[in-house]
A = this chain, B = another copy of it.
Amino acid sequence: MKKRIRLIISYDGTAYHGWQYQEGVNTVEGVLRRAVSEATGGETEIIGASRTDAGVHALGNVAVFDTNSPIPPDKMFMVLNKLLPDDISIISSDEVPLDWHPRKLGCRKTYEYHIYMSGVRIPVRRLYAHHTYHELDVDEMDRAAGFFTGEHDFTAFCAAGSQAVTFTRTIYACSVRRAGDEVIISVTGSGFLYNMVRIIAGTLMEVGLGRKKADDIPAIIDSLERRNAGPTLPPEGLFLIGYEYEG
């Protein structure tokens, strides 16, 4: 009997050219596909929720695959973890209906972007946070973040080369908080355009630096011009935190 297995996947994106399978390139999906094939004894397609970019990390990406394997669905993650490298870990596995899709309508995903403020570069933090020498104005950043919530045309926050059909997305929550010397930008949305979270983070960082004001955000969104938003921050500060599904 064919079953659909859902996996929650955590990985360190440092060594990978992103999630998506590409022949001859080290990708998370590629490594996972080999492990699933070895565990289940058959080639199978994997459907991932989020195609994270090169260097981006995930605490809870989601993927499914179909199999006739006798391995109990809720034990599958343990079998896979024995076959996976240290920088990919399956958090859990379960059976879902055969028509369940990880990018199905109504799902919400949350990303965090981490920036650390320090007078010196700290090597042990370089892989998991973006560094700034400056003290950012976190309150003003949080106020600016509020303007991103709601349904907007996010053309100004989309990198060139996007294959999106529509640039309208809904952001359910966007906030900025401080934890020690770290500034954490949190964004929950229905979906995101290419590099959208990293451009939002770059724009909020400009607010934190005093180069833009919180009140500038609505006009930047309305302009639909990429050049009015801030820079795309580097991938190492970005974490896909996880998905929520309706029901």
Contact = CB atoms under 8 A, between A and B. Distances in A.
Nearest to A239: B124
B122 A59 contact: yes
Nearest to A13: B124
Contact of A89 (B11, B91, B121): B121
Contact of A120 (B12, B88, B91): B91
A192 interface: no
A194 to B, nearest CB: 23
Nearest to A8: B120
A27 interface: no
A89 B12 contact: no
Interface in A86-109: 86-89, 91-92
A128 interface: yes
A86 B10 contact: no
Interface string A116-131: 0000111110111000
A86 B12 contact: no
Given A11-B123, A87-B123, A124-B128, 18 more contacts: A10-B120, A10-B121, A10-B123, A11-B124, A12-B124, A57-B123, A59-B122, A59-B124, A81-B121, A86-B123, A86-B126, A88-B123, A89-B120, A89-B121, A89-B122, A89-B123, A124-B127, A127-B127
Contacts of A126: 12, 86-87
Nearest to A119: B91
Contacts of A128: 124
20 contacts: A10-B120, A10-B121, A10-B122, A10-B124, A11-B124, A12-B123, A12-B124, A12-B126, A81-B121, A86-B123, A86-B126, A87-B123, A87-B126, A88-B123, A89-B121, A89-B123, A92-B120, A124-B128, A124-B239, A127-B127
Contacts of A127: 124, 127
B57 A124 contact: yes
Contacts of A10: 120-124
Contacts of A12: 123-124, 126
Contacts of A59: 122, 124
